Structure 1
Amino acid sequence: MNCHFFATLSRMRYIERWALMRNSCPENLSEHSLETAMIAHCLCEIGNLRYGRSLSGERAALLALYHDVPEIITGDMPTPVKYSGEEMQKAYRELEKGAAERLLSLLPEDLRPRYEELFFPDPKSYLLRLVKAADKLSAYIKCLSEEQAGNREFRSAKKSTERILRSLSAELPELSDFMRDFLPSYGRTLDELIGEEDGEEMPADHKI
């Protein structure tokens, strides 16, 4: 039996994100998914250690690794197009669902139920809310990186992502903690990152 599931998933590296925007450093779907998974895991650990929750960071990381897999088939649709109206959003959700089902069909039948749980998680779970917050954080970090490279193309994306993160952080203290503790380091040089901590405060343009 030849099962094409993982060979197909390996093509995530060829899906470029931020379509229609000029990138100083292109980002592919594999890179974004890895960063989202690491952040999602950390958000769960913060929740468990600081807020008395019982979250599975490993599960969150898995959900994050698979959260954009349907884009192997659909591609990364530009945000202004994806969210241009209710009908477009509904159509894209259906397209995404169909792509996920097509990918699941590439698995052996006995494995499909286990992967369906990753492709179609409980939309109301707190864990998924943290994964979605991690997704937005990864996008914001990308905007910061482009801005620091002198690319003004991402100004609007940065502002809109900031608004979303502010809204989310009001209900997700884990997100607020991550932004306070980790965002200030983005944009520093390698020497600054591996050197002694200097207690420097977050630059004004990183405060959201």
Structure 2
Amino acid sequence: MISIVIAAAFVSLVYAYWLRKGVLAQPKGTEQMQKVWKGIRDGSLSYLDRQLRTIIPILLGLSFLLFFTVYITTPEAGTAELFGIDITDPPEVYQAALAHARLVVGLGRAIAFIFGASFSLIVGQLGMRIAVESNIRVAQATREGDNRYNRALTISYRGGTFTGMLTDGLGLLGGTMIFIIYGLAAPDALLGFGLGGTLLALFMRVGGG
């Protein structure tokens, strides 16, 4: 079953690459159109660069804080089973098992948070770039031939689908790897992965991305 999920993730990523390649193969229009487009592209790239420099320190700080959340929450049942945490054990045995579980899960949660945020950042960065690349090609497609609107719609659809496929592929791949590594304790580590992905997406959305 896991191999099927991983295969689906890679199929999504390959399909995203194919969509991007198809969009970039389309003509960019007249010299005047490209002049206006280059201004839009340069502005978008400047925004992405500034956003990246703002986000990275925040991500590092949040990942550090997220590590310590394991010390204020109760381990999930799967985590307790995996690490042999049993409240009926002698206190020193129980505390040793709990400390070990918290260290491993805390590190996993923090690293998963960084991976989730990084994947979300990759999707946002590449998604905006392909949107900018699609715009001028859609505009050019509407100027040529009897079937121009269908071609324009196809280009715009592929540009939007690229972001969706990239999100699906990276999300499946990241989540599956956490399940493979952490097994029964995966739900505790997945908290970080999900939080990283959604928090960064929200930040980018509020920031105008």
| Bigger Rg over Cα | 2
Flag whether TM exceeds 0.5 (same fold).
no
| Greater fraction of residues in helix | 2
Q: Give the TM-score normalised by structure 1.
A: 0.32
